[in-house]
């Protein structure tokens, strides 16, 4: 069995974006740039007022003093002329500075008397002028390739005056849930031996949250012929196929075998982690296949640890961006960690991270309560309140 870090390195090596496309900026939310965004203009495009007030010539400005107001400058419609000796221009935030003026006096310290502006209050030293290109220059790279267009990046992309951006294709994902015992939610209570198929819903939700295009989610019986056909069809349509259950050593654990006719090559199989040891990654027909254990908590933990980075990498980001571990104080007790690296489920509390009471790998109720994973390296001694642990948003 390989360790978590080794498995992660193999995953990061294996994953590539499927292709790229030009997309209108309004459709690009949350997606990842395949090419840098280059500014098409200077920002600001001219020297611009940062405040509402009066544009003056600093050299002849005095307190007390008076200047004749010779015009107005608005954002989008500047003053055409120049500010001459003894003159000033009424100006508003975002408006171009008129020729000749180099300072703005905020209106709060100015008295108006007809065409005259009277300055008799002491002022702060600010010039309140944003110089042309002081934010960025035409030709500057505002966002690098690989950057996800989050809310802040969208502002810079639009500010660059680009209508379209070059993006990596969104990874298309199909989730296949396997097991004869699985029934559609709503149908299990009436069928002997059945349980609700729950895992694929969570895996699909996680995939959506990490930028996938979810193209299908299927529930399949443990019948090799059906499974092989579903595997072949999924490999045609998806970039990443996730198969849940049947990952272990049971007599009906067909998850790997169903991809056999498609030429499955294993990248890793079994990782020394708890929960989720049976997780595996392979490739068939040029597509990645991720096998998750069927136990619901194991499935969601391995989806967080392996599917989230896989989707980041397939979307053009560094896969490691999906796993930002940070130090957090522990508010509770943890047992010693044995040979398998352990990912406890916990919640963020005021004093730090609190392990949830039920750490069983089949848990569903406790899974819903957890919002953090606490990472414990193999061989770590028991830990108690106040110690620092590694935590990941779950």
Q: Which residues bind ligand LQZAQKY5 (CB under 6 A)?
A: 177, 179, 181-182, 195, 197-200, 244-250, 253, 275, 277-278, 293-296, 298, 361
- Cβ of residue 41: shortest distance to ligand LQZAQKY5, in angstroms? 52
**Is the CB of 276 or the CB of 309 nearer to ligand MOO?**
276
Among 31, 90, 130, 274, binds ligand MOO (CB under 6 A): 274
Residue 301 has which token pair? 């933990």
Nearer CB in complex with ligand MOO: 277/283: 277
DSSP string, 175-190: EEEE-TTEE-TTSSTT
Taking the complex as a whole, the smallest distance from the CB of residue 151 to ligand LQZAQKY5 amounts, in Å, to: 34
Applying the rule CB under 6 A, the residues between 143 and 172 that interact with ligand MOO are none
Q: Is 304 in the site for ligand MOO (CB under 6 A)?
A: no
**Of ligand LQZAQKY5, ligand MOO, none, which one sits near residue 240, judging by CB under 5 to 8 A according to partner kind?**
none
| Least distance from ligand MOO to the Cβ atom of residue 210, Å | 21
199 binds, among ligand LQZAQKY5, ligand MOO, none (CB under 5 to 8 A by kind): ligand LQZAQKY5
Residues ≥6 apart with Cβ < 8 Å to 151: none
Shortest Å, Cβ 248 to ligand MOO? 8
Nearer to ligand MOO, 146 or 291 (CB): 291
Residue number with CB closer to ligand LQZAQKY5 (49 or 244): 244
Q: Which residues of 349-388 are buried (b: 16+ CB within 10 A; e: fewer)?
A: eeebbbbbeebebebbebbeebebbbbbeeebeebeeeee
**102 and 82 Cβ atoms separated by less than 8 Å:** no
Residue with Cβ nearer ligand MOO (128 or 274): 274
Shortest reach from residue 260's CB to ligand MOO, in Å: 23
End-to-end CA distance of the chain: 25
Nearer to ligand LQZAQKY5, 37 or 230 (CB): 230
- Angle at 275 (CA atoms; ends 296, 217), nearest 5 degrees: 35
- What H or E segment, with its residue span, contains residue 90? strand 87-91
- Tell the smallest beta-carbon distance from residue 361 to ligand LQZAQKY5 (Å): 5
Rounded to whole angstroms, the Cα distance separating 125 from 111 reads 19
Report the residue number whose CB is nearest to ligand LQZAQKY5: 294
CA torsion 185-186-190-195 (nearest 10°) is 20
Q: Which of ligand LQZAQKY5, ligand MOO, none has residue 181 at its interface (CB below 5 to 8 Å by kind)?
A: ligand LQZAQKY5
Closest CA to 9 of 203, 240, 281: 281
Measured over the CA atoms of residue 239, residue 243, residue 248 and residue 251, the dihedral's sign is negative
CB of 152 to ligand LQZAQKY5, least distance (A): 37
According to the binding rule CB under 6 A, does residue 298 interact with ligand MOO?
yes
Among ligand LQZAQKY5, ligand MOO, none, the one that 253 touches (CB under a kind-dependent 5 to 8 A) is ligand LQZAQKY5
Q: For 202-331, list the strands marked E by DSSP.
A: 213-220, 240-244, 265-269, 273-274, 280-284, 287-292, 326-329
- Give strand ranges (E) for 231-356: 240-244, 265-269, 273-274, 280-284, 287-292, 326-329, 341-349, 352-355
**What sign does the CA torsion over 315, 174, 1, 341 have?**
positive
Q: Which of 30, 127, 277, 283 binds ligand MOO (CB under 6 A)?
A: 277
Please identify which residue in 73, 295, 342, 359 interacts with ligand MOO, judged by CB under 6 A.
295
Q: Is 342 an interacting residue with respect to ligand MOO (CB under 6 A)?
A: no
Stretch that binds ligand MOO, among 147-155, 195-203, 293-301, 376-384 (CB under 6 A): 293-301
Among 240, 311, 361, 367, binds ligand MOO (CB under 6 A): 361
Q: Is 276 a binder of ligand MOO (CB under 6 A)?
A: yes
Only one residue has tokens 């030709």, namely 139
Of 224, 232, 209, residue with least CA distance to 255: 224
Chain residues in the site for ligand MOO (CB under 6 A): 274-277, 293, 295, 298, 361
């Amino acid at each position: 069995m390989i360790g978590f870090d080794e498995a992660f390195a193999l995953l990061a090596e294996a994953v590539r974006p499927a292709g790229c496309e030009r997309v209108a900026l309004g459709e690009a939310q949350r997606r990842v740039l395949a090419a840098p965004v280059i500014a098409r203009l200077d920002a600001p495009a001219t020297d611009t007022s940062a405040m509402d007030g009066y544009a003056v010539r600093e050299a002849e400005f005095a307190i007390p003093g008076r200047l004749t107001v010779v015009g107005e400058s608005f954002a989008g419609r500047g003053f055409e002329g120049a500010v001459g000796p003894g003159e000033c221009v009424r100006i508003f935030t975002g408006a171009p500075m008129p020729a000749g003026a180099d300072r703005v006096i905020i209106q709060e310290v100015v008295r108006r008397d007809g065409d005259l502006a009277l300055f008799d209050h002491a002022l702060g030293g600010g010039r309140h002028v944003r110089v042309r290109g002081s934010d960025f220059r035409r030709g500057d790279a505002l966002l690098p390739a690989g950057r996800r267009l989050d809310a802040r990046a969208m502002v810079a992309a639009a500010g660059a005056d680009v209508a379209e951006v070059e993006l990596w294709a969104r990874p298309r994902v199909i989730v296949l849930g396997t097991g004869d015992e699985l029934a559609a939610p709503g149908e299990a209570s009436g069928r002997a031996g059945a349980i609700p198929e729950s895992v694929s819903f969570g895996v699909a939700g996680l995939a959506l949250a990490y930028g996938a295009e979810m193209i299908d989610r299927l529930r399949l019986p443990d019948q090799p012929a059906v499974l092989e056909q579903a595997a072949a069809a999924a490999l045609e349509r998806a970039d990443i196929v996730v198969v849940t259950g049947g990952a272990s050593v049971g007599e009906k654990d067909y998850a790997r075998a169903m991809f056999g006719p498609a030429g499955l090559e294993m990248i890793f199989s079994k990782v020394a982690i708890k929960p989720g040891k049976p997780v595996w990654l392979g490739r068939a027909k040029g597509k990645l296949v991720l096998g998750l254990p069927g136990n619901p908590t194991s499935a969601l933990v391995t989806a967080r640890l392996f599917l989230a980075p896989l989707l980041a990498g397939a979307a053009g980001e560094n896969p490691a961006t999906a796993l930002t571990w940070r130090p957090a104080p522990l508010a509770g007790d943890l047992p010693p960690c044995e040979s398998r690296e352990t990912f406890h489920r916990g919640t963020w509390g005021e004093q730090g991270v609190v392990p949830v009471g039920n750490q069983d790998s089949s848990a569903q109720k406790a899974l819903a309560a957890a919002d953090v994973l606490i990472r414990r390296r193999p061989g770590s001694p028991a830990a108690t309140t106040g110690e620092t642990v590694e935590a990941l948003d779950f």
